[in-house]
Structure 1
Amino acid sequence: MTDTTLADLALEVRAKNAGPFWLTLEAFMSDDAGYRVADALITPETVAALYHVEAGTLQIFRIPQLRVVKVSMPRPTPQGSLHDRDMHAGQHHIPLAELPVPRGRA
């Protein structure tokens, strides 16, 4: 049996540009129970560990009415720079989507 991930509970987990120096991760949850799980799991410490960034650089927006948790953070490299491997920041959602949900919380 595989472990449940955040993506299993979500309508969508995605990443996108938030300007050339920032990216945003978004977890759109399908119901209130899923939102409560995402709200508890998506912490500055968890995101910092997943993305190897300083927790103090993160901005987390919780929107319970829409069942969305958004995280904005500095891009690892500026958009379009020589070492940018994801121009639109569309692949950065994967670590968050694969975040395991502790048993009994799903």
Structure 2
Amino acid sequence: MVDIASVIRSKNSGPFEMTLDIVFKTKRAYDEVKASKAISAGVISRLYGIEKGVPIEVRSFDPAFAIKVTFPRRIASGSLGDTDIYGAQQHAPLLTLEIDGVSAFDPSASPHS
């Protein structure tokens, strides 16, 4: 993932939800990942240990070559037991996600190609 995305981050989406943002380096990489459905509710569920039936929303945002994922936090932000009040440390599982068949970043290529 780190080879094809320029931004991989997590943050709160209110006190009860977490959002993951993935912004791809090129339109081509974004289009390939989007078409492959390699970032799906099932993949996110597996990476984050989310139980079956918990709603996970995966949205594509074409103008930014981005995919946004939102799911409920296990513990509300700021509650007893919360270790990441801002949700900013939850993107790590995405860093090692390998997506087969997606073109790696070519620094000589235009970001729009």
Do both share a fold (TM > 0.5)? yes
* Residue 20 of structure 2 corresponds to residue 22 of structure 1: no
Letter in 2 for 1:18: S
Gaps of 5+ in 2: 104-113
Gaps of 5+ in 1: 1-5
C-alpha RMSD over aligned residues = 1.4
Equivalent in the alignment of 1:91: 89
Shift of 1:55: 5.6
- Greater C-alpha Rg: 2
Shift of 1:65: 1.9
Range with greater deviation from structure 2 (39-48 or 20-29): 39-48
More helix by share: 1
Letter in 2 for 1:33: R
* Residue 42 of structure 2 corresponds to residue 45 of structure 1: yes
Q: Number of residue pairs matched?
A: 100
The alignment-based identity, stated in percent, is 29
Letter in 2 for 1:47: I
Q: Deviations over 1:12-71 (max 9, x none)?
A: 100001001001000001111221243231111101111111365111111122100000
SS at match of 2:59: strand
